[in-house]
């Protein structure tokens, strides 16, 4: 038995051991069984006892019968193999593509007429030698592809060779027989001879404008072959679908130009002279010359009817071009009647600029760039030639960018409004706290003050939702188990949905932890459940489920790309009325709602959107009108252990905080500054006031002035809070700092972290929160 490791095929590539052993052992089984039976029969004659002789004879007979069956099976398999091989040969014998039938080692047993013609000078029976002038290392190419075909049944590769671009394909016919096909892709449409036979001028240009190929029609038009595009066109660069001046042998002519990108940065450029296309031709046959051109083209009458179309146009528009249809039946989105645009083109009015339109389709979005060009000879009915380009991918990227810009602009607006409102609410609620210090429950004004205080808190919650949408709120992320969070919220959620609705929870038992703000995640869940409840006024079911999921590759959905990785998915299903597709792209915008003015603010879903985005997750919606809606939230899973935060015990009786330190208060909003200074003085602190950073630094220029703590706004005219604090700490490094702002801490978190002994207090804050924060910093 030969050494398998030294066996080679295709002139050097090693054959896999399992394949070699199988080939060597194919005919072994039948012969070995027959020999074993003969040996058993012979041994029976030397057996000492009769019963042993009979047993050996019976065993020998069984083996001989079995070996006969094996031989018959092998003969049947050989006959079937012969039939299969003959079927393949008859199938490819007259194929226009060179075909070879070869065994496992690459020995050719059959080649069709085309292969004999193309490789006449290479009469070898080995594939590696036949392809030696085409591939640099034919043995490696053939071995690689045959190994794949053996495992998968077939293989195909496009290969750029020294003689052009080819496609090599192989199919496994039997265990050790393979059909090879070699297709020439050097020129689109079937090679140079097919392109030369094309009546329309065509050329291939490289990335730098060098003319790589020019068909016979183009060479005849120019009177020779040009070296670059500058020798072909008088007005560069080329724009597909536009009319350009061609430098012909008899002078310049204008022609409609269509361009198709090709492999390797190449471009195929076609001339489409309208008058020549219809000269002496009837409708339906005048476009035979461009039927197979890789450029989508439509012939449209002056009144908008589609007279003709080529194959590429029908493919792009999903074969919707029926007899008698109009351009308006296929495309929309111009903003005015398409017939007006066609009429202007026929009459030579307008700039002739291409337009971006959308194909009318129920199932998918198809965006096309359309260029119209007048055509028709004198005395013939005028028409236009429409050159179409598929720009769906480009438009999707553009829409994704526009949507993100819109959401960002709305977020910035919401964040700015929230900042200003927080300043007002700080002054309102703060002075209300000061008034409550002078009134007890028996006072007739006490109830009014409580109402002011509660409504200020409601306004603060509304502002918090605006900040959530703009992703500028304060988050306190921690590693949590989503199942525990949902379980703790079940009682509240049941109260929200009421008795008419059924709320069920379905958890993945092996759910991974996530890192998020538990309180804000509960807010998202409440908003989604309330939204589901309002969609089912007559009752229904709400199901909340969680699961782990792994994205092996990025998920592209709703113009958003979710990176590959491990995620925890939270879904909220309802059986409500559903959301129409026309409204689905607006549901996350703030203040947009389908409810009545008393039914909601339109901030529920926008708040959920902002919280999930700030958490680093993604939220999507699936809805069917009349069936229900599903909101899906994807949050990256976390490998860290779940954090158990110990909450400090609150004192049974709230004791007012008192202090004796010196506080430098820097706040540009006078009402906020007035409240904060009064509140701190009431608690025993000495307060120095400044309305800007520059005033504060001037005060600190006095070395005899003692200051224990800086209480400063972050966003102010001139120098902001972190900037002036750094300058002041250079001379007073031990001074404590409290930053306050209507924006989120994350907006300047890096600045704060770089400043020692500093904490953050978000606006609006109460009297107690302010004095307690200052006291804790000083002590």
Q: For 108-142, write each residue's pLDDT tens digit.
A: 888 898 888 888 766 678 888 888 877 767 888 88
> CB of 389 within 8 A of CB of 369?
yes
Stronger pLDDT, 445 or 773, i.e. the higher one: 773
pLDDT over threshold 50, residue 598: no
Closest-CA residue to 355 (of 323, 310, 386, 394) = 386
The CA distance from 701 to 713, in Å, is 20
Task: Tell me if 389 sits within 8 A of 241, measured CB to CB.
Answer: yes
Evaluate if residue 475 carries a pLDDT over 80.
no
Predicted confidence (pLDDT) at residue 581 exceeds the cutoff of 90: no
pLDDT of residue 18: 39
Gap between the Cα atoms of 228 and 211, Å rounded = 5
Average pLDDT for the chain: 77
Contact of 463 with 474, CB cutoff 8 Å: no
- pLDDT score recorded for residue 286: 47
For residues 1 and 5, give the distance between their C-alpha atoms in angstroms, rounded to a whole number.
12
Residue 277 clears pLDDT 60, i.e. is over it: no
pLDDT score for 673: 92
Q: Looking at residue 692, what DSSP letter applies?
A: S
Contact present, 25 and 2 (Cβ < 8 Å): no
Token digits for 696?
Answer: 């504060």
More confident residue, 220 or 195: 220
In this predicted structure, the answer to whether residue 77 has a pLDDT above a threshold of 60 is no
- Residue 713: Cβ within 10 Å count: 23
Residues 6+ apart with CB under 8 A from 70: 29, 30, 33
428: which 2 tokens? 């309102």
What's the angle, vertex CA 236, arms to CA 235 and CA 239, rounded to 5?
105
- Which residue, among 757, 749, 703, 694, has the nearest Cα to 727 in the 3D structure? 694
- At residue 659, the pLDDT reads 67
pLDDT tier at 34, thresholds 50, 70, 90:
low
123 in helix, strand or coil?
A: coil
pLDDT of 543 higher than 90 = yes
Of 115-119, 194-198, 393-397, the one with minimum mean pLDDT is 194-198
- Report long-range pairs for 473-476 (Cβ below 8 Å, ≥24 apart): 473/520, 473/610, 473/611, 473/614, 473/744, 474/744, 474/745, 474/746, 474/760, 474/762, 475/517, 475/520, 475/614, 475/615, 475/744, 475/746, 476/517, 476/519
Band the pLDDT of 666: cuts 50, 70, 90.
very high
User: In angstroms, rounded to a whole number, what is the distance separating the alpha carbons of residues 626 and 547?
Assistant: 26
Q: What pLDDT was estimated at residue 66?
A: 60
- Identify the pLDDT of residue 28: 45
What was the pLDDT predicted at 464?
66
Cβ pair 67, 37 in contact under 8 A: yes
Over 90: is that where the pLDDT of 699 sits?
A: yes
Determine how β-strand 164-174 pairs with β-strand 177-184: antiparallel
Angle between helices 392-436 and 446-469 (to 10 degrees): 160
- What would you report as the CA-atom Rg of the chain, rounded to the nearest whole angstrom? 41
pLDDT for 195: 55
- Give the pLDDT score at 571: 94
- Residue pair 445/453 in contact by the 8 Å Cβ criterion: no
Q: How far out from the chain centre does Cα 477 lie?
A: 27
Who wins on pLDDT, 649 or 707?
A: 707
pLDDT digit string (tens) for 403-428? Answer: 666 666 666 666 667 777 777 888 88
The answer to whether the predicted template modeling score (pTM) of the entire model surpasses 0.85 is no
Strands 565-574 and 628-636 come out as: antiparallel
For residue 444, pLDDT over 70 is answered with yes
Q: Say if residues 211 and 205 touch (Cβ distance below 8 Å).
A: yes
Altogether, the residues listed in the chain come to a count of 779
> Is the pLDDT at 481 greater than 70, yes or no?
yes
Mean pLDDT highest for which of 129-138, 288-297, 646-655?
129-138
Q: What is the mean pLDDT of residues 237-252?
A: 84
| pLDDT surpasses 70 at 237 | yes
More reliable by pLDDT, 282 or 290: 290
By the 8 A CB rule, do 661 and 686 touch? yes
Phi, psi of 563 (to 5 degrees): -60, 155
670-688: per-residue pLDDT in tens?
A: 989 998 999 999 889 999 9
Question: Three-state SS for 81?
Answer: helix
Structure tokens at 712: 């400063």
The predicted pLDDT at position 404 comes to: 64
How many whole angstroms separate alpha carbon 85 and alpha carbon 718?
A: 88
Give the least confident one: 74-78, 83-87, 392-396, 544-548. 74-78
CA-to-CA separations, 682 to 651, 678, 771, in angstroms, rounded: 22, 6, 10
Distance CA 273, CA 200 (A): 8
Distance CA 105, CA 701 (A): 92
The answer on pLDDT for 777 being more than 80 is yes
pLDDT of residue 4: 36
In the chain, pLDDT over 90 holds for what percent of residues?
A: 14
Our CA angle for 679, 680, 685, nearest 5°, is 155
Q: How confident is the model at residue 53 (pLDDT cuts 50, 70, 90)?
A: low
Burial status of residue 74 (CB atoms within 10 A of its CB: 0-12, 13-18, 19 or more): middle
Across 713-727, average pLDDT: 89
Is the model's pLDDT at 747 over the cut of 60? no
**pLDDT tops 60 at residue 189:** no
8 A C-beta contact, residue 420 and residue 742: yes
Q: What pLDDT shows up at residue 6?
A: 33
Predicted local confidence at residue 280, as pLDDT: 34
Selection from 359, 369, 347 nearest residue 242 by Cα: 369
pLDDT, position 712 = 94
User: For residue 601, what pLDDT is reported?
Assistant: 53
Alpha helices in 211-325 (DSSP H): 216-222, 274-278, 311-316
Report which secondary-structure segment, H or E, holds 527.
helix 518-534
Contacts of 344 (CB under 8 A, 6+ apart): 350
pLDDT in tens, 312-351: 888 888 767 888 888 888 888 888 888 888 888 887 776 5
Q: What's the first-to-final CA gap in the chain, in angstroms?
A: 91
Helical (H) or strand (E) element with 14? strand 13-14
Strand, coil or helix: what is 736?
Answer: strand
Lowest-pLDDT range of 24-33, 600-609, 712-721 = 24-33
Please name the residue that has the structure tokens 């700030």: 614
Nearest CA-CA partner of 380 in 242, 244, 283, 255:
283
Closest-CA residue to 540 (of 431, 650, 627, 657): 627
Identify the H or E element spanning 244: strand 243-248
Q: Is the pLDDT of residue 61 over 80?
A: no
Which of the two residues, 175 and 719, has the higher pLDDT score?
719
| SS3 labels along 148-207 | HHHHHCEEEEEEEECCEEEEEEEEEEECCEEEEEEEECCCCCCCHHHHHCCCCCEEEECC
In eight-state DSSP terms, residue 231 is G
Looking at residue 650, what is its pLDDT?
42
φ/ψ of 215, rounded to 5, equals -75, 175
Q: Model confidence over 513-537: pLDDT tens digits?
A: 999 888 888 888 888 888 888 888 8
| pLDDT tier for residue 46 given thresholds of 50, 70 and 90 | low
pLDDT at 594: 59
Q: 699 and 688 in contact (C-beta within 8 Å)?
A: yes
């Amino acid at each position: 038995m030969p050494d398998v490791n030294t066996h080679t095929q295709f002139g050097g590539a090693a054959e896999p051991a399992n394949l070699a052993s199988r080939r060597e052992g194919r005919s072994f089984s039948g012969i070995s069984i027959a020999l074993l039976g003969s040996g058993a029969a012979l041994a029976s004659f030397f057996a000492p006892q009769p019963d042993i002789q009979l047993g050996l004879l019976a065993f020998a007979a069984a083996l001989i019968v079995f070996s006969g069956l094996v031989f018959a099976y092998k003969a049947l398999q050989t006959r079937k193999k012969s039939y299969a091989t003959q079927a393949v040969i008859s199938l490819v014998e007259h194929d226009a593509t060179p075909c070879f039938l070869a065994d496992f080692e690459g020995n050719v047993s059959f080649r069709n007429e085309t292969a004999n013609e193309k490789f006449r000078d290479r009469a070898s029976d080995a594939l590696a030698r036949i392809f030696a002038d085409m591939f640099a290392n034919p043995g490696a190419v053939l071995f690689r592809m045959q190994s794949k075909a053996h495992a998968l049944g077939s293989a195909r590769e496009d290969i750029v060779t020294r003689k052009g671009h080819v496609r090599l394909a192989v199919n496994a016919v039997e265990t050790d027989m393979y059909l090879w096909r070699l297709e020439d892709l050097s020129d689109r449409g079937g090679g140079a001879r097919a392109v030369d036979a094309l009546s329309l001028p065509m050329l291939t240009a490289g990335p730098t404008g060098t003319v790589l190929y020019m068909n016979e029609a183009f060479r005849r038009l120019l009177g020779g072959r040009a070296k670059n595009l500058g020798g072909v066109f008088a007005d560069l660069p080329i724009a597909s679908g536009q009319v350009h001046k061609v430098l012909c042998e008899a002078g310049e002519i204008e022609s409609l130009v269509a361009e198709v990108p090709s492999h390797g940065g190449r471009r195929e450029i076609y001339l489409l002279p309208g008058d020549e296309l219809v000269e002496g031709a009837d409708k339906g046959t005048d476009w035979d010359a461009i039927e197979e051109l890789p450029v989508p083209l439509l012939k449209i009458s002056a009144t908008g009817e589609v007279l003709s179309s080529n194959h590429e146009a029908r493919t792009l528009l999903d074969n919707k071009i029926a007899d008698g249809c109009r351009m308006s039946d296929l495309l929309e989105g111009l903003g005015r009647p398409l017939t007006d645009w066609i009429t202007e083109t026929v009459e030579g009015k307008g700039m002739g600029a291409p337009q971006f339109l959308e194909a009318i389709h129920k199932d998918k979005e198809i965006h096309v760039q359309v260029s119209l060009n007048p055509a028709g000879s004198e005395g013939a009915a005028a028409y236009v030639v429409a050159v179409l380009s598929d720009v769906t991918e480009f438009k999707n990227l553009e829409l994704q960018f526009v949507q993100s810009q819109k959401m960002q602009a709305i977020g910035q607006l919401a964040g700015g409004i929230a900042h200003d409102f927080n300043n007002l609410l700080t002054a309102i609620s703060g002075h209300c706290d000061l008034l409550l210090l002078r009134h007890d429950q028996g006072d007739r004004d006490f109830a009014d003050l409580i109402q002011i205080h509660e409504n200020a808190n409601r306004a603060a919650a509304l502002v918090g939702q605006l900040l959530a949408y703009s992703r500028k709120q304060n988050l306190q992320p921690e590693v949590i188990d989503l199942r525990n969070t949902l379980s703790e919220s079940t009682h509240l959620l049941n109260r929200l949905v009421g008795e008419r609705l059924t709320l069920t929870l379905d958890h993945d038992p092996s759910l991974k932890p996530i890192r998020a703000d538990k309180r804000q995640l509960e807010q998202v869940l409440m908003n989604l459940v309330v939204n589901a409840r309002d969609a089912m006024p007559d009752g229904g079911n709400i199901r909340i489920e969680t699961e782990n999921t792994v994205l092996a590759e990025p998920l592209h959905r709703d113009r958003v790309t979710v990176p590959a990785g491990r995620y925890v998915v939270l879904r909220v299903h309802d059986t409500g009325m559903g959301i129409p597709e026309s409204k689905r792209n607006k549901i996350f915008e703030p203040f947009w709602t389908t409810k009545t003015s008393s039914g909601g603010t339109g901030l529920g879903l926008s708040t959920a959107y902002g919280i999930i985005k700030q958490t680093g997750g993604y939220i999507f919606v699936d809805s069917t009108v009349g069936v229900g809606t599903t909101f899906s939230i994807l949050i990256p899973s976390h490998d860290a252990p779940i954090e158990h935060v110990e909450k400090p015990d609150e004192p049974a009786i709230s004791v007012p905080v008192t202090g004796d330190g010196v506080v430098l208060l820097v706040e540009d909003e006078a009402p906020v500054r007035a409240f904060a200074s009064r509140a701190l003085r009431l608690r025993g602190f000495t307060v120095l006031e400044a309305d800007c950073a520059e005033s504060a630094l001037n005060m600190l220029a006095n070395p005899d002035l003692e200051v224990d703590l800086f209480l400063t706004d972050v966003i102010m005219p001139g120098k902001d809070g972190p900037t002036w604090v750094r300058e002041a700490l250079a001379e007073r490094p031990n001074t404590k700092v409290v930053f306050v702002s209507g924006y989120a801490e994350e907006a300047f978190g890096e600045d704060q972290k770089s400043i020692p002994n500093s904490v953050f207090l978000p606006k609006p804050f109460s009297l107690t929160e302010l004095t307690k924060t200052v006291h804790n910093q000083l002590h």
